[in-house]
Amino acid sequence: MKISNYLVKPGTKISLSKFSTKDTSGIKSKEDAKEFLEKNIEKMIELQDKLYASDKYSLLLVFQAMDAAGKDSIIKHVMSGLNPQGTQVYSFKQPSKEELDHGFMWRIQKAVPERGRIGIFNRSHYEEVLVVKVHNLLKYQQIPSEFIDNKIWQNRYEHISDFEKYLYENGTVVLKFFLHVSKDEQKERFLARIDDKTKNWKFSAADVEERKLWNEYQSAYEEAITATSKKFAPWYIIPADKKWFARLLVSEIIVETLKKLDLQYPKLTDEQLAELQKCKENLMNE
Ligand code: ATP
Ligand code: MG
Protein backbone atom coordinates (compact mmCIF):
# COMPACT_ATOMS: atom_id res chain seq x y z
CA MET A 1 0.00 0.00 0.00
CA LYS A 2 1.51 3.33 -1.04
CA ILE A 3 0.48 5.93 1.50
CA SER A 4 1.74 8.75 -0.74
CA ASN A 5 -1.23 8.01 -3.03
CA TYR A 6 -3.50 9.41 -0.33
CA LEU A 7 -1.35 12.36 0.67
CA VAL A 8 -2.40 15.86 -0.36
CA LYS A 9 0.82 17.24 -1.79
CA PRO A 10 1.54 20.67 -0.35
CA GLY A 11 0.61 23.40 -2.78
CA THR A 12 -1.79 21.35 -4.91
CA LYS A 13 -5.38 22.45 -5.26
CA ILE A 14 -7.66 19.50 -4.61
CA SER A 15 -11.10 18.59 -5.79
CA LEU A 16 -12.68 15.92 -3.59
CA SER A 17 -14.72 14.51 -6.45
CA LYS A 18 -11.43 13.34 -7.98
CA PHE A 19 -10.62 11.27 -4.89
CA SER A 20 -12.21 7.84 -4.65
CA THR A 21 -14.34 7.00 -1.64
CA LYS A 22 -14.34 3.30 -2.55
CA ASP A 23 -10.69 2.53 -3.22
CA THR A 24 -9.19 -0.37 -1.25
CA SER A 25 -5.68 -0.32 -2.71
CA GLY A 26 -6.13 -3.78 -4.21
CA ILE A 27 -7.04 -5.41 -0.90
CA LYS A 28 -9.91 -7.74 -1.68
CA SER A 29 -11.54 -8.67 1.58
CA LYS A 30 -12.36 -7.44 5.02
CA GLU A 31 -10.62 -10.51 6.44
CA ASP A 32 -7.31 -9.69 4.73
CA ALA A 33 -7.54 -6.09 5.89
CA LYS A 34 -8.21 -7.22 9.44
CA GLU A 35 -5.10 -9.38 9.42
CA PHE A 36 -2.94 -6.50 8.17
CA LEU A 37 -4.51 -4.15 10.71
CA GLU A 38 -3.65 -6.53 13.54
CA LYS A 39 -0.03 -6.59 12.39
CA ASN A 40 0.04 -2.80 12.30
CA ILE A 41 -1.41 -2.61 15.78
CA GLU A 42 1.43 -4.84 17.02
CA LYS A 43 3.93 -2.48 15.41
CA MET A 44 2.16 0.55 16.87
CA ILE A 45 2.32 -0.92 20.36
CA GLU A 46 6.08 -1.30 20.04
CA LEU A 47 6.55 2.17 18.56
CA GLN A 48 4.31 3.75 21.19
CA ASP A 49 6.42 2.18 23.91
CA LYS A 50 9.54 3.79 22.45
CA LEU A 51 7.74 7.10 21.93
CA TYR A 52 6.80 7.10 25.60
CA ALA A 53 10.20 5.98 26.85
CA SER A 54 12.14 8.50 24.77
CA ASP A 55 9.85 11.35 25.87
CA LYS A 56 10.80 13.74 23.06
CA TYR A 57 8.14 13.62 20.39
CA SER A 58 4.38 13.44 20.63
CA LEU A 59 1.97 12.44 17.89
CA LEU A 60 -1.24 14.32 17.16
CA LEU A 61 -3.85 12.63 14.97
CA VAL A 62 -6.60 14.90 13.68
CA PHE A 63 -9.81 13.32 12.38
CA GLN A 64 -12.27 15.33 10.35
CA ALA A 65 -15.19 14.06 8.31
CA MET A 66 -18.80 14.41 7.31
CA ASP A 67 -21.29 12.78 9.70
CA ALA A 68 -21.31 8.97 9.78
CA ALA A 69 -17.99 8.70 7.96
CA GLY A 70 -16.68 6.52 10.78
CA LYS A 71 -14.48 8.74 12.95
CA ASP A 72 -15.50 7.06 16.17
CA SER A 73 -15.07 3.52 14.92
CA ILE A 74 -11.67 4.25 13.37
CA ILE A 75 -10.47 5.76 16.62
CA LYS A 76 -11.78 2.72 18.48
CA HIS A 77 -10.25 0.11 16.18
CA VAL A 78 -6.94 1.69 15.35
CA MET A 79 -6.17 2.65 18.93
CA SER A 80 -7.21 -0.66 20.46
CA GLY A 81 -4.24 -2.34 22.04
CA LEU A 82 -2.31 0.85 22.64
CA ASN A 83 -1.30 1.70 26.18
CA PRO A 84 -4.15 3.90 27.49
CA GLN A 85 -1.68 5.77 29.71
CA GLY A 86 0.04 7.05 26.61
CA THR A 87 -3.02 8.14 24.64
CA GLN A 88 -5.59 10.89 25.02
CA VAL A 89 -8.70 11.51 22.95
CA TYR A 90 -10.47 14.85 22.72
CA SER A 91 -13.83 15.36 21.03
CA PHE A 92 -14.48 18.95 20.13
CA LYS A 93 -18.14 19.94 20.26
CA GLN A 94 -19.79 23.31 19.93
CA PRO A 95 -17.68 25.76 21.90
CA SER A 96 -18.82 26.78 25.39
CA LYS A 97 -19.33 30.37 26.48
CA GLU A 98 -15.92 30.34 28.13
CA GLU A 99 -14.29 28.95 25.00
CA LEU A 100 -15.98 31.59 22.85
CA ASP A 101 -14.51 34.24 25.10
CA HIS A 102 -11.07 33.29 23.77
CA GLY A 103 -9.48 32.96 20.37
CA PHE A 104 -10.34 29.71 18.59
CA MET A 105 -7.01 28.04 19.29
CA TRP A 106 -7.29 28.40 23.06
CA ARG A 107 -9.15 25.15 23.72
CA ILE A 108 -7.02 23.36 21.13
CA GLN A 109 -3.70 24.39 22.71
CA LYS A 110 -4.79 22.93 26.02
CA ALA A 111 -5.50 19.57 24.42
CA VAL A 112 -2.20 19.07 22.56
CA PRO A 113 -0.54 15.81 23.68
CA GLU A 114 2.45 16.05 25.97
CA ARG A 115 5.77 14.51 24.94
CA GLY A 116 5.69 10.75 24.66
CA ARG A 117 1.92 10.65 24.10
CA ILE A 118 -0.41 10.05 21.21
CA GLY A 119 -3.23 12.59 21.10
CA ILE A 120 -6.36 12.13 19.05
CA PHE A 121 -8.64 14.96 17.99
CA ASN A 122 -12.15 13.87 17.10
CA ARG A 123 -12.96 17.11 15.23
CA SER A 124 -10.53 19.93 15.82
CA HIS A 125 -9.53 23.53 15.13
CA TYR A 126 -10.60 22.82 11.54
CA GLU A 127 -14.25 23.17 12.58
CA GLU A 128 -13.44 26.90 12.64
CA VAL A 129 -13.09 26.93 8.87
CA LEU A 130 -15.78 24.31 8.22
CA VAL A 131 -18.98 24.49 10.29
CA VAL A 132 -18.28 28.10 11.25
CA LYS A 133 -17.90 29.02 7.59
CA VAL A 134 -20.80 26.95 6.25
CA HIS A 135 -23.20 28.27 8.90
CA ASN A 136 -21.73 31.73 9.12
CA LEU A 137 -21.22 31.49 12.89
CA LEU A 138 -18.66 34.27 13.14
CA LYS A 139 -21.31 36.64 14.39
CA TYR A 140 -21.59 34.58 17.58
CA GLN A 141 -17.87 34.69 18.22
CA GLN A 142 -17.65 38.30 19.43
CA ILE A 143 -14.69 38.95 17.15
CA PRO A 144 -14.24 42.70 16.64
CA SER A 145 -15.93 43.57 13.37
CA GLU A 146 -12.81 45.06 11.76
CA PHE A 147 -11.35 41.53 11.60
CA ILE A 148 -14.37 40.05 9.88
CA ASP A 149 -13.63 40.79 6.27
CA ASN A 150 -13.23 38.81 3.08
CA LYS A 151 -9.75 37.69 4.12
CA ILE A 152 -10.83 36.05 7.35
CA TRP A 153 -10.74 32.46 6.06
CA GLN A 154 -7.38 32.94 4.41
CA ASN A 155 -6.14 34.45 7.67
CA ARG A 156 -7.46 31.51 9.65
CA TYR A 157 -5.75 28.99 7.35
CA GLU A 158 -2.53 30.86 8.01
CA HIS A 159 -3.12 30.90 11.76
CA ILE A 160 -3.73 27.16 11.64
CA SER A 161 -0.60 26.47 9.61
CA ASP A 162 1.52 28.71 11.81
CA PHE A 163 0.23 26.88 14.87
CA GLU A 164 0.92 23.46 13.35
CA LYS A 165 4.43 24.54 12.32
CA TYR A 166 5.03 25.65 15.87
CA LEU A 167 3.86 22.26 17.12
CA TYR A 168 6.11 20.45 14.63
CA GLU A 169 9.16 22.48 15.60
CA ASN A 170 8.53 21.68 19.23
CA GLY A 171 8.31 17.93 18.75
CA THR A 172 4.64 17.29 18.02
CA VAL A 173 4.16 15.36 14.81
CA VAL A 174 0.80 16.26 13.27
CA LEU A 175 -1.13 13.96 10.91
CA LYS A 176 -4.52 14.99 9.57
CA PHE A 177 -7.08 12.57 8.18
CA PHE A 178 -10.14 13.45 6.16
CA LEU A 179 -12.41 10.41 6.05
CA HIS A 180 -13.86 10.65 2.60
CA VAL A 181 -17.29 9.05 2.44
CA SER A 182 -19.74 9.26 -0.48
CA LYS A 183 -23.14 10.89 -0.17
CA ASP A 184 -24.82 7.56 -0.99
CA GLU A 185 -22.89 5.73 1.69
CA GLN A 186 -23.80 8.40 4.24
CA LYS A 187 -27.47 7.84 3.41
CA GLU A 188 -27.10 4.08 3.92
CA ARG A 189 -25.46 4.63 7.28
CA PHE A 190 -28.13 7.09 8.42
CA LEU A 191 -30.82 4.58 7.42
CA ALA A 192 -29.03 1.86 9.38
CA ARG A 193 -28.92 4.15 12.40
CA ILE A 194 -32.66 4.67 12.15
CA ASP A 195 -33.52 1.00 11.57
CA ASP A 196 -31.15 -0.64 14.02
CA LYS A 197 -32.16 -0.16 17.67
CA THR A 198 -28.56 -0.48 18.85
CA LYS A 199 -27.61 2.40 16.55
CA ASN A 200 -30.53 4.76 17.22
CA TRP A 201 -28.52 6.73 19.76
CA LYS A 202 -26.01 7.68 17.09
CA PHE A 203 -28.63 9.33 14.94
CA SER A 204 -29.67 12.92 15.24
CA ALA A 205 -32.23 14.72 13.10
CA ALA A 206 -29.72 17.55 12.84
CA ASP A 207 -27.46 15.24 10.82
CA VAL A 208 -30.07 15.15 8.05
CA GLU A 209 -30.18 18.96 8.07
CA GLU A 210 -26.39 19.07 7.73
CA ARG A 211 -26.61 16.64 4.82
CA LYS A 212 -28.53 19.28 2.88
CA LEU A 213 -25.38 21.37 3.02
CA TRP A 214 -23.25 18.56 1.56
CA ASN A 215 -21.84 20.63 -1.31
CA GLU A 216 -21.04 23.60 0.90
CA TYR A 217 -19.15 21.34 3.29
CA GLN A 218 -17.25 19.61 0.48
CA SER A 219 -16.12 23.01 -0.84
CA ALA A 220 -15.11 24.18 2.61
CA TYR A 221 -13.08 20.98 3.06
CA GLU A 222 -11.42 21.36 -0.32
CA GLU A 223 -10.37 24.90 0.40
CA ALA A 224 -9.17 24.18 3.93
CA ILE A 225 -7.26 21.03 2.98
CA THR A 226 -5.65 22.74 -0.02
CA ALA A 227 -4.52 25.65 2.14
CA THR A 228 -3.20 23.65 5.09
CA SER A 229 -1.60 20.46 3.78
CA LYS A 230 2.04 21.09 4.55
CA LYS A 231 5.16 19.00 4.84
CA PHE A 232 5.14 19.63 8.59
CA ALA A 233 1.41 18.79 8.93
CA PRO A 234 0.12 16.77 5.97
CA TRP A 235 -3.47 15.92 5.14
CA TYR A 236 -4.38 12.42 3.99
CA ILE A 237 -7.65 11.75 2.20
CA ILE A 238 -8.86 8.36 3.38
CA PRO A 239 -11.39 6.50 1.21
CA ALA A 240 -14.00 5.67 3.83
CA ASP A 241 -16.88 3.84 2.13
CA LYS A 242 -15.25 0.61 3.26
CA LYS A 243 -14.60 1.08 6.94
CA TRP A 244 -12.16 -1.84 7.05
CA PHE A 245 -9.95 -0.19 4.46
CA ALA A 246 -10.07 3.22 6.14
CA ARG A 247 -8.92 1.65 9.41
CA LEU A 248 -6.07 -0.18 7.75
CA LEU A 249 -4.87 2.85 5.80
CA VAL A 250 -4.87 5.10 8.86
CA SER A 251 -2.90 2.49 10.81
CA GLU A 252 -0.41 2.20 7.96
CA ILE A 253 0.16 5.97 7.88
CA ILE A 254 0.67 6.07 11.64
CA VAL A 255 3.15 3.19 11.59
CA GLU A 256 5.17 4.66 8.70
CA THR A 257 5.27 8.07 10.34
CA LEU A 258 6.40 6.74 13.72
CA LYS A 259 9.03 4.55 12.06
CA LYS A 260 10.57 7.58 10.38
CA LEU A 261 11.16 9.19 13.76
CA ASP A 262 13.74 6.46 14.45
CA LEU A 263 12.62 6.20 18.07
CA GLN A 264 15.08 4.65 20.52
CA TYR A 265 14.88 3.62 24.13
CA PRO A 266 17.00 6.00 26.20
CA LYS A 267 20.63 4.83 26.34
CA LEU A 268 22.10 4.47 29.81
CA THR A 269 25.50 5.92 30.65
CA ASP A 270 28.31 3.62 31.88
CA GLU A 271 27.64 4.94 35.36
CA GLN A 272 23.96 4.10 35.19
CA LEU A 273 24.77 0.61 33.85
CA ALA A 274 27.19 0.03 36.73
CA GLU A 275 24.44 1.18 39.12
CA LEU A 276 22.06 -1.40 37.61
CA GLN A 277 24.62 -4.15 38.11
CA LYS A 278 25.06 -3.10 41.73
CA CYS A 279 21.31 -3.27 42.28
CA LYS A 280 21.26 -6.71 40.70
CA GLU A 281 24.02 -7.95 43.01
CA ASN A 282 22.18 -6.58 46.05
CA LEU A 283 19.00 -8.35 44.99
CA MET A 284 20.84 -11.64 44.36
CA ASN A 285 22.56 -11.48 47.73
CA GLU A 286 19.34 -10.97 49.70
P1 ATP B 1 -19.76 13.57 16.05
O2 ATP B 1 -20.78 14.20 15.16
O3 ATP B 1 -18.39 14.20 15.93
O4 ATP B 1 -19.70 12.08 15.95
P5 ATP B 1 -21.53 13.76 18.26
O6 ATP B 1 -22.60 13.35 17.32
O7 ATP B 1 -21.29 12.96 19.51
O8 ATP B 1 -20.14 13.90 17.54
P9 ATP B 1 -22.34 16.43 18.04
O10 ATP B 1 -23.32 17.09 18.93
O11 ATP B 1 -22.68 16.14 16.63
O12 ATP B 1 -21.79 15.19 18.78
O13 ATP B 1 -21.01 17.33 18.20
C14 ATP B 1 -20.28 17.82 17.30
C15 ATP B 1 -20.87 19.11 16.77
O16 ATP B 1 -20.13 20.24 17.27
C17 ATP B 1 -20.77 19.13 15.28
O18 ATP B 1 -21.95 19.53 14.68
C19 ATP B 1 -19.66 20.14 15.04
O20 ATP B 1 -19.75 20.77 13.80
C21 ATP B 1 -19.85 21.08 16.20
N22 ATP B 1 -18.62 21.86 16.46
C23 ATP B 1 -17.40 21.40 16.75
N24 ATP B 1 -16.52 22.42 16.84
C25 ATP B 1 -17.22 23.55 16.59
C26 ATP B 1 -16.85 24.92 16.53
N27 ATP B 1 -15.62 25.32 16.74
N28 ATP B 1 -17.83 25.81 16.26
C29 ATP B 1 -19.09 25.40 16.04
N30 ATP B 1 -19.48 24.13 16.08
C31 ATP B 1 -18.57 23.20 16.35
MG1 MG C 1 -22.87 14.28 15.37
CA of 250 to the centre of ligand 2 (A): 21
Measured by CA distance, the residue closest to atom 8 of ligand 1 is 93
Taking the CA of 95 as reference, the closest ligand is 1
110-167 pLDDT, tens digit each: 999 999 999 999 999 999 999 999 999 998 998 999 999 999 999 999 999 999 999 9
Burial of residue 28, with CB atoms counted within 10 A of its CB: 0-12 exposed, 13-18 middle, 19 or more buried: exposed
Average pLDDT (19-48) is 96
Taking the CA of 131 as reference, the closest ligand is 1
pLDDT at site 101:
95
Confidence class of residue 177 from pLDDT cuts 50, 70 and 90? very high
CA separation for the pair 132, 3 (Å, rounded): 31
190-232 pLDDT, tens digit each: 999 999 999 999 999 999 999 999 999 999 999 999 999 999 9
CA of 66 to the centre of ligand 2 (A): 9
Could you tell me the CA-to-CA distances from 171 to 7, 26, 89, 112, 235 in Å, in that order?
21, 35, 19, 11, 18
Which residues contact residue 57 at a Cβ distance below 8 angstroms, ignoring those fewer than 6 apart? 51, 115, 116, 171, 172, 173, 261, 263
pTM above 0.85, yes or no: yes
- Residue 223 maps to which CATH number? 3.40.50.300
CA of 224 to the centre of ligand 2 (A): 20
CB contact at 8 A, 241 and 22: yes
pLDDT at site 200:
94
pLDDT at site 67:
96
Average pLDDT (254-271) is 96
Atom of ligand 1 nearest to the CA of 125: 27
Measured by CA distance, the residue closest to atom 2 of ligand 1 is 67
Confidence class of residue 81 from pLDDT cuts 50, 70 and 90? confident
Average pLDDT (14-34) is 96
CA separation for the pair 213, 220 (Å, rounded): 11
CA of 65 to the centre of ligand 2 (A): 10
Ligand 1 mutation target, pool 75, 76, 89, 93, most atoms within 8 A of CB? 93
Domains contained in the chain, number: 1
Amino acid present at 88: Q
pLDDT at site 2:
95
What is the biggest distance separating any 2 CA atoms in the chain, rounded to whole angstroms? 76
Measured by CA distance, the residue closest to atom 1 of ligand 1 is 67
Residue from 120, 105, 219, 232 nearest 167 by CA: 232
CA of 155 to the centre of ligand 1 (A): 23
Taking the CA of 93 as reference, the closest ligand is 1
% of the chain surpassing 90 pLDDT: 97
Enumerate residues lining ligand 1, CB below 6 A.
Answer: 67, 71-72, 92-95, 122-123, 127-128, 131-132, 137
The 3-state secondary structure of the chain, one letter per residue? CCHHHHECCCCCCCCHHHCCCCCCCCCCCHHHHHHHHHHHHHHHHHHHHHHHHHCCCEEEEEEEECCCCCHHHHHHHHHCCCCHHHEEEEECCCCCHHHHCCCCCHHHHCCCCCCCCEEEEECCHHHHHCHHHHCCHHHHCCCCHHHCCCCHHHHHHHHHHHHHHHHHHCCEEEEEEEEECCHHHHHHHHHHHHHCHHHHHHCCHHHHHHHCCHHHHHHHHHHHHHHHCECCECEEEEECCCHHHHHHHHHHHHHHHHHHCCCCCCCCCHHHHHHHHHHHHHHHCC
Domain assignment of residue 173, given as a range = 3-284
CA of 256 to the centre of ligand 2 (A): 30
pLDDT at site 234:
98
pLDDT at site 119:
97
Taking the CA of 124 as reference, the closest ligand is 1
Atom of ligand 1 nearest to the CA of 135: 29
Expressed in angstroms, the distance from the first to the final Cα of the chain is: 54
